[in-house]
Amino acid sequence: MENRQEPDVVRPDTSLFGHLLDFIDKHPDITQIRSHIQRLKEATASEDLSYVGPRTQQAGHRIYDELIGACFQQVSRATSREDLLKNFIDTLDALGNQSPARCIFVLEEMPNTDKDAPLEISGLEQRRIVPERWNNYCENVLPQLSKNQFFAETLRAGNPLELWHSLYIPQYQGEFDALFYKSKEPRKRGYWISGIPLPSGGIRHPNRTLFVLYPDPGDELRPRLPSGAIQEWRALSFLGIAYRMLNHQLASIAEQVHTRRQELLTALAPGILHHEIGIQISIIRSLVSDQNYLVQRILEHCPEQDTENMGLLIGSVGHLYDAARRLYGVTDAFNNLERRQSRGRLQLQTVVAEAYTVIYNRLGNAGVGVEWDDEELAREIVSDPALLLHLLVNILLNATQAFINRPDEETNPRERLISIHVEEISTPEPDTLHIVMDIYNNGPSIPPGNLERIFEKGFTTRRDGHGQGLYICRLISQYLGGQLRALDPRELATEYTVGFRLELPFTMPHVIDLESERAPPNKGEP
């Protein structure tokens, strides 16, 4: 019998068949699969798989456009990646019958530089799946998913699955069947799978993939997309873009923090150098002069028991020590603002005191007092001291500037107050606690509509403002493993009008030095 080679199959426009045929071209001995795909192509040639139905074309665009718009609005507010993902799947689930999705779930895997090492895949969240079925799937079925070469390579490479059909995925062994099919439902028809990768951008955090499974209204030879599936894929694609934008924001925070620090140094240096350091040096010079005079008197008269002069000398030495310590505190806190440090064990009271010292002159000029309880702030955490200092300085400066900009509103200048309180709270994770730092003031209140907008990049109510301070503060809080938000007026005590809540873990979750992420200067540049 003549050995005839099959002619090359013309690739269709859809990415589903394109990927399948590319895979088959690499395995020319699988002639049966090639023939089956060719028959599938011919059987579906007249089918319009892009048709989504008149109802979805009219209303679906608006629904999913709003979902896409919400994603990018959260990016502008520096929402955490976890909240972005949760809000998206919650909204998708809330669409009810308007969304054709039957199963929505998120898998995550830890990046591994060793390509031969098996993936560690775990289930993160799900919607529209019976909890018992999901738990059983994560425990018994999911560990086998890493053994599927197709899914392992897809997850490792971060490739999207754009509405692939379960019956025609190479090497697919029905790994999602236990989630999709009901107990007595026939399994011949298959289902559609969408998967959008959500990479972490680093090797210390898990990569995630959001999967959505759709029923097939057609059959195994003539599969049909359900109405709205294409619009939903469009929304998933934009979720992936928004997720990567948040990754980029976290990666570029080093440059933003560095720039903001330089602005703070420029703004604070004149006041600190001319006022704080000048006053302390003047006091030291005066005290040294007094001590010199007293010593001369003692040497001249040499009394055996001059208790009065000795008492004055001892008191003068004490004041000299206090002034010197104050001078050291000012310069050390100011230097810490510029110096980069890796994470370390620190006491909250120390960082708060440093932040207060750095802007002491500004606070004094505005007539603003700051109060805290040293015992309450005596808790130790493992975090980045320089970034935490930067965050606190920004919040205190923000409150001080609000007092200055509207001096006649709501408060008397002699009663201006910022109050800092700390407590421990339990978290959903067993045996873990977080630190909660509340920073209140009795200055001009924030309109309810701006409680989230103040964290948007570029949003400001000041003529000379740039809208970067609180935006960067929220990014820093996320980098430190916590979160920052403005308190609703109903959460405040009656004596306060504005409040910020900073939640931090006792141990910072990762040790990336942000300054090392900044692009190094070109050779030859200063």
Going by C-alpha positions, the residue among 497, 450, 467 that lies closest to residue 398 is 467
- The number of domains in the chain is 2
Identify any residues that bridge with 397 across adjacent strands, giving them in sequence order: none
Identify any residues that bridge with 346 across adjacent strands, giving them in sequence order: 381
CB 81 within 8 Å of CB 210:
no
434, containing H or E segment: strand 433-441
Q: Is 153 inside a domain boundary? A: yes
Q: Is 500 inside a domain boundary? A: yes
Looking at residue 440, its pLDDT comes to 96
Residues (pLDDT < 50) of the chain are 1-18, 20-21, 24, 28-30, 33-34, 37, 41-58, 340, 410-411, 413, 511-526
Beta strands (DSSP E) in 66-113 are: 103-109
Shared domain check, 244 and 167: yes
Q: Calculate ∠ Cα 471-472-477, nearest 5°.
A: 105
Provide the residue type at 441 as one letter.
N
CA–CA dist 482, 114 (Å, integer): 30
Shared domain check, 243 and 142: yes
Provide the residue type at 131 as one letter.
P
**Final residue of a domain: which of 222, 251, 280?**
251
Listing DSSP states for 132-195 in one string gives: HHHHHIIIIIGGGGGG-HHHHHHHHHT--EEEEEGGGSTT---TTHHHHS-TT---SS-EEEEE
CA–CA dist 66, 94 (Å, integer): 13
Strand, coil or helix: 496: coil
Identify any residues that bridge with 191 across adjacent strands, giving them in sequence order: 215
Q: Is 282 inside a domain boundary? A: yes
Shared domain check, 326 and 234: no
Beta strands (DSSP E) in 324-391 are: 344-347, 369-372, 380-383
Q: Is 197 inside a domain boundary? A: yes
Looking at residue 193, its pLDDT comes to 95
Looking at residue 273, its pLDDT comes to 57
Strand ranges across the sheet with 191-198:
121-127, 103-109, 207-215, 191-198, 161-165
Shared domain check, 146 and 246: yes
Question: 327: exposed, middle or buried (C-beta count within 10 Å: 0-12, 13-18, 19+)?
Answer: middle
Shared domain check, 284 and 178: no
Q: Which domain holds residue 159?
A: 47-251
Looking at residue 152, its pLDDT comes to 83
Handedness of CA 347, 353, 356, 358 (dihedral sign): negative
Looking at residue 408, its pLDDT comes to 53
Instruction: Report in angstroms the alpha-carbon separations of 454 from 63, 278, 281, 441, 485.
Output: 27, 36, 40, 16, 10
Provide the residue type at 484 as one letter.
L
Q: Is 359 inside a domain boundary? A: yes
Shared domain check, 308 and 230: no
Looking at residue 267, its pLDDT comes to 63
Shared domain check, 228 and 134: yes
Q: Is 1 inside a domain boundary? A: no
State pLDDT tens for residues 466-504.
778 888 889 888 888 889 999 999 999 889 999 999 999
CATH number at residue 68: 3.30.450
Shared domain check, 287 and 177: no
Q: Spell out the residues 6+ positions from residue 246 whose beta carbon is closer than 8 angstroms to its own.
A: 75, 78, 79, 80, 81, 84
Shared domain check, 258 and 246: no
Q: Is 41 inside a domain boundary? A: no
Longest dimension (CA), the chain: 130
**Final residue of a domain: which of 216, 251, 286?**
251
Shared domain check, 188 and 329: no
Q: Is 525 inside a domain boundary? A: no
Show contacts of 305-308: CB within 8 Å, 24+ apart.
Answer: none
CATH number at residue 273: 3.30.565.10
**Final residue of a domain: which of 198, 228, 251?**
251
Shared domain check, 353 and 411: yes
Looking at residue 102, its pLDDT comes to 95
Shared domain check, 277 and 193: no
Region of residue 210 (left: phi > 0; alpha: psi -120 to 50; beta: else)? beta
Copy the structure tokens of residue 294. 């007293």
CA–CA dist 298, 247 (Å, integer): 70
